[in-house]
Amino acid sequence: EAGRTISRVVQLTEEKLGTTERTEYDLHFQNLAERADVTKSWTEKIVRDTESVLIPNPQNRVEDFIFEKIEKSKPKRLSNLEHLALDMIEAGGDFGQDMPYGQALIKVGQAEQKLGQCEHDFIATSGICFTQPLRKFLDGEMKTISKERGILETKRLDLDACKNRVKKARSMLGQQSKDGISPEAVLEQAERDLRVAQAEFDRQSEITKLLLDGISTSQASHLRHLHA
């Protein structure tokens, strides 16, 4: 494994320097990968922006995030509407429930309480029906895709390193044996390694493509959440 790691580092370094060739992903795969990157970027931004609208106070957002992670109920907070409602109702009581102004304050305060409850319901529903599914997508499907793309890139480096070893082995044909191993034997081993590397790359490529294709299904699901 250490040898493979070194081989990958050498391959990547030579690619950066432009001294070796690399296997390019096909156009369809590149389009899928680009769409995945765009989807991830915009989904993260939409989640952040939505949460900022629903809970403007950043300290409260952090607090809610912590409570969510430790699986505890979020603290009950009064909204500005509810604070206003309580003050109006209390003021109405002090001014006199039998007085027109006091009665009006209490009536408006009660209406503000209902608006405050509607706001709480909207925030809760938006979290359950919209932001939570998007977060689940980012923490689940997108992380899996990123992981598999990383594995694919590793397989690609292994494949190209094997291709370079085959080229080098072919260039050594006709020369004297080194360390008791003939150039023909070196080439034969290099070609075997190449076949294995190619098979592993192809298999990982198909796995990654299937996951990338699944983003379309996820977006259809996100659309349903948005309509909800």
- Sequence-separated (6 or more) residues with CB below 8 Å from residue 111: 85
The parts of the chain modelled with pLDDT lower than 50 are none
- Sequence-separated (6 or more) residues with CB below 8 Å from residue 122: none
Q: What is the CATH number of domain 2-227?
A: 1.20.1270.60
The tokens describing 46, both together, are 């939409």
Return the DSSP state at 41. H
CA torsion 29-33-36-40 (nearest 10°) is: 170
Residue with tokens 């998007």: 134
Exposed/middle/buried for residue 129 (C-beta within 10 Å: 0-12, 13-18, 19+):
middle
Give me the amino acid identity at 222: H
Nearest alpha carbon to residue 53 among 130, 110, 136: 130
- Sequence-separated (6 or more) residues with CB below 8 Å from residue 226: 130
CA distances from 55 to 93, 114, 129 (A): 31, 19, 16
**What was the pLDDT predicted at 191?**
96
Nearest alpha carbon to residue 114 among 94, 88, 75: 88
Phi, psi of 181 (to 5 degrees): -115, 125
How far apart are alpha carbons 165 and 196 in whole angstroms? 13
**What was the pLDDT predicted at 228?**
63
How far apart are alpha carbons 109 and 101 in whole angstroms? 12
Spell 85-117 as b/e; 16+ CB within 10 A means b: beebbeebeebeeeeeebeebbeebeebbeebe
Please give the full DSSP string across 103-169, using - where no structure is assigned: HHHHHHHHHHHHHHHHHHHHHHHHIIIIIHHHHHHIIIIIHHHHHHHHHHHHHHHHHHHHHHHHHHH
